[in-house]
Structure 1
Amino acid sequence: MHTINTGDADEVASVVALAARLRVLLPLPLADAYDYRAPVGAVVPVGAFVVVPLGRRQSIGVVWDGDPNPGLSEKRLRSVEQVLDAPPMTATLRRFVDWVAAYTLSPPGAVLRMAMSAPSALEAPAPRAGWRRAPHPPDGARITPPRRRVLDLLADDTPRAGGQIAEAASVAPAILRGMADAGLIEPALMPRQAAFTRPDPDHPGPSLGPEQATAADALRAAVSRRAFSTTLLTGVTGSGKTEVYFEAVAQALREGRQALVLLPEIALSAQWLDRFRGRFGVAPALWHSELTPRTRRETWRAVAEGEAPVLVGARSALFLPFPDLGLIVVDEEHETAFKQEEGVVYHARDMAVVRARLSSAACVLASATPSLESTTNAATGRYASVHLPARHGGAEMPDVALIDLRRTPPERGHFLSPPLVEAVTQTLARGEQAMLFLNRRGYAPMTLCRACGHRLRCPNCTAWLVEHRAARRLQCHHCGHVEAPPEACPNCGAPHSTVPIGPGVERVLEEATALWPEARRLVMASDTIPGPAAAAAAAQAIQNREVDLIIGTQIVAKGWHFPHLTLVGVVDADLGLAGGDLRASERTFQLLHQVAGRAGREEHRGRVLLQSFAPEHPVMQALVSGDLDAFMEAEANDRRPGHWPPFGRLAALIVSSEDERAAERTARDLGLAAPGGEGVEVLGPAPAPLAILRGRHRRRLLLKTRRDIAVQPLLQDWLAKVTVPGNVRVQVDVDPVGFL
């Protein structure tokens, strides 16, 4: 990442004088704040949330840092209409918004929108009414046994909600109404309760082994320093990294500071939450896209008021208003799910490091297969490093072996080779669980006509339609387009001529059903595990041994602990190596190593079989040897001479338009205006691999520089030279991780 000055960390908010001008940043794709007149007689701090007029409507914004425009006429100023009763946005979060905007070349208002993701939380919560004992009940009021139970419950004079009273005293709501009419109880405002119970840092949790204890000591010390640091926490799968960084969370709680844990797939966090409850006695606050509006509002407000001591969330949780953030953990830091590709394009792992620096907090990046970027930062001393070399509790790493599909191919029309079929059969016969992994959803990745060869393609994207046979649909996994399977070829009209090509997990399920009809099977893919409840149910069923055979896509690699799973078979280990992606080898190794790590996590040693047409490939050999360090060193040696990340910098320009000629012309103009000089290279323009996406024609240009050259000034100068038509969009992606 390019280093941008973060400014002073002083959290003391400046105060705007009476009737002064205010700079108000609005959560809109605007390049700068607007000037407004402060309300007469009001003192408005920088960071306050305010309601302001914008055109003919109202908008909520934040009083921002900096000096108003002295050249703006007083007559053109409009007044702030309301100051909202919400904790002001901290100086740290405001600097973070500005930093992210500058680094990603995004409008500050677009970044602010991510920090205002629950607008309803800006209004003070309405007080809740309940009942309490009347201080002077009338003489002679009839006291029945149910009424006595209510009065005894309210003897401490603490107001309680009607439903709570009725349930605790075992009375009907009509009893309460009668007591109110009789003057025995009266309405009262209930005291505001904390939205979340504080986790107990000293709650007895699982015992740590010697290596875990040493690692935990290092992380606790980093948190106790109350200063910025980044530690890369690595270790083999099953080594107890989660339990180790839980000790850093506990230390943040002891320090009276908040902790944030980022997970790549928060919807699949059921087992992680169970482990958290086991360590701290309560659940943490959650932040993800499936929260109800009410929970979202309450959680945002609790974070802002310091009443959510620990929050676990998706990448967007980085923009929540923590008043005193002491720790950020990025679990599975290598995951590409931390990269946001739409709107403001940023990588949550890198931005977590920035937010920790601005907050004088400790940052922990955890992974069994860390990214080359983080590995390099640790090797050069920018990050501290802690490693757990062995599985916890004496469990051994699985044996990994290759199946050469050139020598032992599957039967015609099938996808499981004889050695893999035999291994699954033996595993199931022993009463153990097996997993078949294929990182493809649906039944088949492509459908074609056997009469004319026509391939069914998405009308909006340059992508094949994926067959989902169970749901009887063809679907584009890029734009979501869905259509029914055709009765006849849309090109030649031949009836019933379309056939599936290649396997998806549904097709593997079909083959497994024929091979092992008695086995209890479960498919784990985003289609079948859509959210937290489904993930929890699946994990529980596997743990309860209600499942014999798991068939899954990449979501089965996300940190699951299945104690009875002893065999993992990878149906197509070569799948991720196709194409010209810079990180194809690294990603394939990471994914398959993580999948392999699901096997043999307790007393029975695991076994992993990789089906491959290229067993001699360095990735396959590294998986067999288990030598992550040697593999990463080889990757570094491949990238270093060409100044590819992390030894150089990349930034992509993605030009798109519904008008193909407009996209082509703008891309050509950008190519002609491209920057040059020593250590600077521009590749393209060229059609993107997904040349059409959601109906938009796409062209890509890639800026590559040496590590010591900042890309942001180059990009700003470059974009300033070209006039972009209104029907063309140019998206900037600094530090791209994908090239579609």
Structure 2
Amino acid sequence: MTVATATPPPAEFSPGSRIAVLLPLPLAGAYEYRVGAEPVVAGAFVRVPLGRREAVGVVWGPGPGAVDEARLRPILGPLPAVPPLPAELRALTDWVAAYTLAPPGAVLKMAMSVPAALQPPRLPPRLRAVAPPPAGLKASPARARVLAQLEQMPPASAADLARAAGVGPLVVRGLFAARALEPLPDPPEPDPPRPDPARPGPALSPAQAAAAAELRAALGAGFSVTLLDGVTGSGKTEVYFEAVAAALAAGRQVLVLLPEIALSAQWLERFTRRFGCPPLVWHSEVGEARRRDTWRAVARGAAGVVVGARSALFLPFPALGLIVVDEEHDGAFKQEDGVCYHARDMAVVRGRLGGFPVLLASATPALETMANVQAGRYRRLALPDRHAGAALPRIVAVDLRRAPPPRGRWLGPDLEAALAETLAAGEQAMLYLNRRGYAPLTLCKKCGFRLRCPHCSAWLVEHRRRGRLLCHHCGHAITRPDTCPDCGSEEGFAACGPGVERVAEEAAFLFPQARLAVMTSDTCAGPAAAAALVEAMAERRLDLLVGTQIVAKGYHFPHLTLVGVVDADLGLDGGDLRAAERTFQLLSQVAGRAGRAERPGRVLLQSWQPDHPVMRALVAGDRDGFLAREAASRREAGMPPYGRLAALILSGEDEAALDGFAARLARAAPLRDGIDLLGPAPAPLALLRGRHRRRFLVKATRAVALQAWLRDWLGRAAPPAGIRVQVDVDPTGFQ
């Protein structure tokens, strides 16, 4: 079933008209062309000459008339196999470009990320016999076998027909050349299975049913944003599945954004159980052929539901009726390379442009989202209790100053005892440390020389299982040297600090009978690996899971009753504006893995700062109080969401030239009330992938037109060759 397009027909441009064509390139704007012999519509994909080569772009609207008639070149023709890019997505492209100060073509490239999808499917022609056979056809036993075979089977490709008849391909080609065989028209592309909205879902609690009714009522009522605010394990997914079902029943398409789509095996299983078939999936690990088919299914309206990472926001839905952003607080929704945008915020923009509702779901909403709720811009639906009567876990802060781990170990006596008790009771436990590898730092035992990346301002991280030292920023890898590169000592190197592999090693030493696995982005390189670990936990083939932050991404482990956080303070330091908020969110999500079924759960937070406001709030279960205090602090400092920030990152291989341009750019900054300019200063990662980096931070009040000021400033000092300028409006990180 293909859904009906929800937008009016696009404008048509007659032959000879001037049109603007936007190309998926980082250019200043659209180029002007003339329509050829056949008319085209706004949004059509067209082939155009570009210098001495050919490019594919999108008809963006009427031409402005800026090009002399003699220099105006005609387009080479439309691509008939692709529906036009929807007006809503073209408007989103312009909006994102204006907001982020990115070239519109760079944004369009995200909507044209699968060039092969712009071409019709290349299927071998299906052949059938011509009746009656052409006069004068030379007969042979081989030809007779081919024609007899076609009487017993449907039309087939030349290769399949030759194989079935037991002849060589030249026999089939000869019959085709003699016009005894003819090709059939290409069949239409098959539609993917469509989720069934009429399938009954699980029984909902009264609170869940009330929230689902509110979400269903929002469909068809125009644009709105709703926060589904539910504690971990409250059944938020089943609630918004009801909204998905209502949108499908109304003939609309649905987009669900997840922060870790490659690790969403449980989510996909729940969806399939609810709707009878899986949704289409969109993320970087999907193969090229599948991405092509998915893009085309979306474009022709045949995709009912797509679940994807942030890039799925730029798929060409013609009848989008609902966007769900699950775990809306998650930092993975922010793209920091290329076009810097936040998928949660741009999902809200797409909903406003398309006039349909957007749903944000989280147990730990972002401060920006809560500020919008308090301002009346977003509605909030609360699920304060866990589903089926399960209780929230008891959280305890373990004071490492009172009971530190033994020297050279990382699990304190309190956590070790809790692990022993849990495993003895036949229950499952989890250890969490948000640090990949075996050790974050390796140094010479004699002189203290630290092994660092030659291309980045970063230490090399030991990954002992792989036998390598890796840079987590550029991927540079080495084996551990036999002698110190600095002093030549052969005394060896010391691993400093714990990574998740080192914690797993200690746990295996303490509990040799426990069945243990490590879950990180290194050990779960794709959906299959993650699904295998999740299944092993669900089937109780594992006793102890040791992992990084990916274990906090919404997994449901019904037999997990203990979570131990090895270093709860990790992430609190460093001067990051959002350090406390992120730590609270991450630890809340990790804690939420415990006690999700009938057995109660407990969480032990190992901390050197048990009196820190984040730790006190976690132990007290006082999320709203923590957010209120964090909001007051941000408001007093004029920081987001009560002020505006923009970051400029300058990079270049020549450090002296980079510093010279940074100084010139600083002098060119226009003075303006309500704007403070900080920098230039070396970025925390002052060297990244061989390029030196300098940062500016622009702090502004909300009354300032920040983008206009940035355009004015950047227009006063063009960067020299070899220096890049990246603008990040609303930065969430400061590397």
Q: TM-score range by the shorter chain?
A: over 0.9
Spell out the pairing of 1:192-591 with structure 2 (5 A cutoff): 192-225=188-221, 227-591=222-586
Q: Which residue number corresponds to residue 621 of structure 1?
A: 616
1:575 match: secondary structure: coil
User: Cα offset for 1:609?
Assistant: 0.3
Matches within 5 A, 1:104-115: 104-115=100-111
- Cα pair 2:18 2:62 within 8 Å, conserved: no
Aligned partners of 1:410 and 1:418 also within 8 Å: yes
SS at match of 1:641: helix
Greater shift in the superposed pair: 661-670 or 335-344: 661-670
Alpha-carbon distance change, 159 to 251 in structure 1, aligned in 2, over 3 angstroms: farther
For 1:441, the aligned partner's letter is R
Which residue of structure 2 aligns with residue 3 of structure 1? none
Inter-partner Cα distance in structure 1 for 2:52 and 2:165:
49
The equivalent residue for 1:29 is 26
2:652 paired residue among 657, 673, 691: 657
For residues 599 and 646 of structure 1, what CA distance do their matches in structure 2 show?
Answer: 32
Matched, 1:712 2:702: no
Cα distance in 2 between the residues matched to 1:161 and 1:609? 64
For structure 1, which runs of at least 5 residues remain unmatched after alignment? 1-8, 142-146, 167-171
Task: Quote the Cα distance in structure 2 between the aligned partners of 1:23 and 1:343.
Answer: 24
Task: Please report how far the alpha carbon of residue 68 of structure 1 lies from its aligned counterpart in structure 2 after TM superposition.
Answer: 2.8
Which residue identity does 1:67 align to in structure 2?
G
Deviates more, 1:543-552 or 1:11-20: 11-20
Give runs of aligned pairs for residues 610-689 of structure 1, distance below 5 A. 610-689=605-684
Q: 1:615 to 1:126 in 2, by over 3 A?
A: same
Aligned to 2:616, the other structure's residue is in SS state helix
Mapped contact 2:220–2:356 kept (Cα < 8 A): no
Deviations 1:214-237 (A, max 9, x none): 111111111132x11111111100
Counterpart secondary structure, 1:588: helix
| TM-aligned CA distance change 1:245 to 1:176, over 3 Å | farther
1:166-206: per-residue Cα shift (whole Å, max 9, x none)?
A: 9xxxxx9458999x99xxx9975574353311100011221
Note if contact 1:127-1:189 (Cα within 8 Å) is conserved in structure 2.
no
For the residues of structure 2 that align with 1:193 and 1:665, how far apart are their CA atoms? 57
Contact 1:442 1:504 in 2 (8 A): yes
Partner of 1:733: 728
Conservation of the 8 A alpha-carbon contact between 1:160 and 1:190? no
Match of 1:67 among 42, 63, 67: 63
- The one-letter amino acid of 1:358's match is L
State the match for 2:99 in structure 1.
103
* Aligned partners of 2:645 and 2:730 also within 8 Å: yes
Counterpart of 2:580 in structure 1: which amino acid? S
Aligned residues of 1:27 and 1:112 also touching (Cα < 8 A): yes
> 1:132–1:232: structure 2 CA closer, same or farther, 3 Å change rule?
farther
SS in 2 for 1:64: strand
> SS in structure 1 opposite 2:656?
helix
Q: CA deviation at 1:159?
A: 6.4
- Alignment partners' CA distance in 1, 2:129 and 2:581: 67
1:11 touches 1:90 (CA, 8 Å); kept in 2?
no
Cα distance in 2 for residues equivalent to 1:43 and 1:148: 47
Note the C-alpha offset of 1:543. 0.9
Per the TM alignment, residue 360 of structure 1 is displaced from its structure 2 partner at its CA by: 1.0
Contact 2:435 2:499 in 1 (8 A): yes
Q: Is the 8 A contact 1:19 1:37 kept in 2?
A: yes
Q: Secondary structure at the match of 2:636?
A: coil
SS at match of 1:708: coil
Question: 1: distance between equivalents of 2:183 and 2:275?
Answer: 37
Aligned-residue offset at 1:132: 8.1
Distance (whole Å) between structure 2 residues aligned to residue 243 and residue 676 of structure 1: 52
User: 2-side partners of 1:174 and 1:622: how far apart?
Assistant: 75
Q: TM-score, normalised by structure 1?
A: 0.92
RMSD: 2.6
Name the SS for the 2:571 alignment partner.
helix
> Please, which runs of 5 or more residues in structure 2 have no aligned partner?
1-5, 134-140, 142-146, 176-180
8 Å Cα contact 1:128/1:189 also seen in 2: no
SS of equivalent to 2:646? strand
Counterpart among 33, 38, 46 of residue 35 in structure 2: 38
- Mapped partners of 1:462, 1:476: distance in 2: 10
Taking the TM superposition and a 5 Å limit, the aligned residue runs for 1:694-713 are: 694-713=689-708
Q: Distance in 1 between matches of 2:65 and 2:412?
A: 72
Inter-CA distance 129–545: structure 2 relative to 1 (3 Å threshold): farther
C-alpha distance in structure 2 between counterparts of 1:394 and 1:196, whole Å: 38
Classify 1:120/1:504 alpha carbon distance in 2 versus 1 (closer, same or farther; 3 Å).
Answer: same
Q: Distance in 2 between matches of 1:647 and 1:265?
A: 29
Distance 1:690 1:323, change over 3 A: same
Distance 1:321 1:736 in 2: 27
Amino acid at match of 1:24: V
The 8 Å contact of residues 12 and 91 in structure 1, kept in 2 or not, is answered as no
Identity of aligned residues (%): 60
Query: 1-side partners of 2:682 and 2:575: how far apart?
Result: 14
Secondary structure of 1:640's match? helix
Contact 1:195 1:299 in 2 (8 A): no
Paired residue type of 1:198: R
Residues 148 and 368 of structure 1: CA distance in aligned 2, closer, same or farther (over 3 Å):
farther
Counterpart mapping for 1:57-96 below 5 A: 57-70=53-66, 72-85=67-80, 86-96=82-92
| AA partner of residue 98 (structure 1) | D
TM-score (norm 2): 0.92
Counterparts of 1:190 and 1:421, CA distance in 2: 66
Q: Deviations over 1:455-481 (max 9, x none)?
A: 111111111110011111111111111
CA distance in 1, matches of 2:239, 2:156: 41
Q: Deviations over 1:388-411 (max 9, x none)?
A: 000011111001001111110101
The answer as to whether partners of 1:525 and 1:555 remain within 8 angstroms in 2 is yes
| 3-state SS, counterpart of residue 195 of structure 1 | coil
Partner Cα distance (1:60, 1:149) in 2: 43
The answer (yes or no) to whether the contact 2:433–2:567 under 8 Å persists in 1 is yes
SS at match of 2:575: coil
Comparing 428-437 with 12-21, which one deviates more in the overlay? Answer: 12-21
